[in-house]
Amino acid sequence: MRLLLIRHGQTPNNVVGALDTAFPGAGLTDLGRAQAAAVPAALADEDVSAVYASPLVRTQLTGTPLAQERGIEVHVREGLEEIAAGEFEMRSDRAAVEAYLGALSSWLHGDLDHALPGGSTGHEFIGRYDAAVRAVAERHGRDDTVALFSHGAAIRAYATRAAGLAAEDVESMWINNTGMILLEGHPTQGWGLVHWTSELLGGAHLAGVRAHDVTGEAVDEELDD
């Protein structure tokens, strides 16, 4: 199975760097809608047989153009949500951003007991995300290509664990809006990384000014004072 893990398009809270992880979340900006509209052409060579999205609005809006172009539905799958910010929800200050990225870094390095205040442990996150991916895989053949629209930090954390990637390599990697991580394999056999596309699928001309887009930026990126 080819699993296309695609981050949603730009939201107003991406622009200001706010930790927007709760349901239903923000919609897309005008630029975010343009980014979503560019996804079908960017994936023209992929034989996508199904489109899934998390329960958060922004992923469903991003996946809709691809689903419409392929004549299929967007299936909402619980478990594909962003890593919860807990008590730091909707904050954009330095302390909140460092705490969030610190938690992600801990998980990448194998400390799955770590949890943000009011948030989940790494064990809980990986468990629910993996369960969602397994449920998707059970509905499709091993030769199918499935597009799964999700969230920046969640995609990176899951892909790192699922494909056995080195934390030291992943920490310096980021994922822009509509960036994509492509995995091949199956939950019963394991996953391998095919490629990690940090830039937007539709091209760099659709990139916005990158503020502290917290859930998409590199874990080891220095914060401005």
Position 198 scores a pLDDT of 92
How many H helices and E strands in the chain? 8, 6
Does 225 score more than 60 pLDDT? no
| Rg of the chain on CA atoms, in Å | 16
d(CA 201, CA 177): 9
CATH of domain 2-206: 3.40.50.1240
Q: Which residues of 34-52 are buried (b: 16+ CB within 10 A; e: fewer)?
A: bbbbbbbebbeebebbbbb
Model pLDDT for residues 181-198, shown as the tens digit of each residue: 999 999 999 999 999 999
Q: What are the distances in angstroms from CA 10 to CA 22, 26, 98? A: 16, 10, 21
The CA-to-CA distance between both ends of the chain, in Å, stands at 44
Domain ranges of the chain: 2-206
- Residues 156/7, Cβ–Cβ less than 8 Å: no
pLDDT tens readout for residues 164-182: 999 999 998 999 999 999 9
Has residue 159 got a pLDDT over 60?
yes
Q: Which residue has the higher pLDDT, 204 or 167?
A: 167
Q: Is the pLDDT of residue 222 over 60?
A: no
Angle among Cα 177, 183, 188 to the nearest 5 degrees reads: 135
Per-residue pLDDT, averaged over 101-107, amounts to 96
Supply the pTM of this predicted model. 0.95
